Amino acid sequence: MPDFSRLALLVSDAPLAQEAADKGFREIADWVPLSEAEAVVVLGGDGFMLQTLHAMLDSERIIPAYGLNLGTVGFLMNRNRNPETLIKRIGKAKLHHIAPLRMRARTQDGETHTFCAINEVSLLRETRQTAKLEVTVDDKVRIPELVCDGVLLATPAGSTAYNLSADGPILPLDSNLLALTPISPFRPRRWHGAILPDRSRVSLRVLEEHKRPVSVVADQRELRDVAQVDLEIARDSQLTLLFDPGHALDERIVAEQFVV
């Protein structure tokens, strides 16, 4: 079980999160700055948790994060309860490790950008014309021309987000798989996507890039007019989330498949 003596508190700007912090959470512990903490408590929703995790990836100082849902869905968060029980709950929490995707994107003007994505990386058409993409997996061209609104590659942690909305599969957290899912595919008409080992390297090249411009979004970061996107798991940037027993992310992923 985790035993953290130095905890930081991060609170979303959302009124609900600020109100909860003022009504008990700020007073229950001797919080330390994030730079000195062994773990961080995150008050807010999934978006704020993703923002926090990305900030840690950018700073290259990664510590476990325990989220309390004061947002809408709260898939990455624990249920908000009495502030007085928080420290005890953290002591009983289960650790779940997730590895993000690393995206290297080259734009039409030749610039290269590198971002990480915890949920998914999605390519989307920028205009009314469909996108045309070449899909390569492990240096082998699998689809010479995918005509679509876009395509995404999702991690297990992100498989219940945009990927599920695009009719992609839900992946168990410990499956070591990735979901490659088309968005409104036109041709090949019968291609519904692929489930890949997470050791796979995926490259998506934009065909007719000037006529049919495409943007790429890595979680909350967007880059426009891309020419090629290369994706693989960033095993050197593993993240750790803390969940209450019975509310772990792998259980929530299983439960999501029985929602009717």
Does residue 230 carry a catalytic annotation? no
Residue 149's pLDDT is what?
Answer: 97
Q: What percent of the chain has pLDDT over 90?
A: 78
In whole angstroms, give the CA distance from residue 145 to residue 134. Answer: 5
Does the CA dihedral 2-74-54-216 come out positive or negative? positive
Give residue for tokens 């009314």.
128
Q: What is the pLDDT of residues 126-141, one digit of tens each?
A: 999 999 999 999 999 9
Strands 214-218 and 221-223: antiparallel
Task: Find out whether 163 is annotated in a ligand binding site.
Answer: yes
Task: Find out whether 59 is annotated in a ligand binding site.
Answer: no
In whole angstroms, give the CA distance from residue 66 to residue 249. Answer: 12
Task: Find out whether 66 is annotated in a ligand binding site.
Answer: no
Picking from 124, 123, 130, 171, the residue whose alpha carbon sits closest to that of residue 147 is 130
CA-derived radius of gyration, the chain: 20
Question: Is the previous residue joined to 144 through a cis bond, with omega within 30 degrees of 0?
Answer: no
Class of the CATH-defined domain 7-99+238-256: alpha beta
Confidence grade of residue 195 (pLDDT, cut at 50, 70, 90): very high
Q: What is the pLDDT of residues 171-188, one digit of tens each?
A: 988 889 999 999 999 999
- Residue 216 in tokens: 């790429």
Q: What is the pLDDT of residues 69-124, one digit of tens each?
A: 998 777 889 988 889 999 999 999 999 888 999 999 999 999 999 999 999 999 99
Tell me the domain boundaries of the chain.
7-99+238-256, 101-235
Q: Is the pLDDT of residue 215 over 80?
A: yes
For domain 101-235, give its CATH number from 2.40.30.110, 2.60.200.30, 3.40.47.10, 3.40.50.150: 2.60.200.30
Task: Find out whether 165 is annotated in a ligand binding site.
Answer: yes
Residue 178's pLDDT is what?
Answer: 97
- Residue 180 in tokens: 């490659």
Q: Is the pLDDT of residue 223 over 60?
A: yes
The pLDDT mean for the chain works out to 92
Instruction: Please state the length of the chain.
Output: 260
Task: Find out whether 161 is annotated in a ligand binding site.
Answer: yes
pTM as predicted: 0.87
Measure the CA dihedral 71/255/171/65, to 10°: 40
CA neighbours closer than 13 Å in the CB half-sphere of residue 257: 11
Marked catalytic residue, from 3, 22, 30, 46: 46
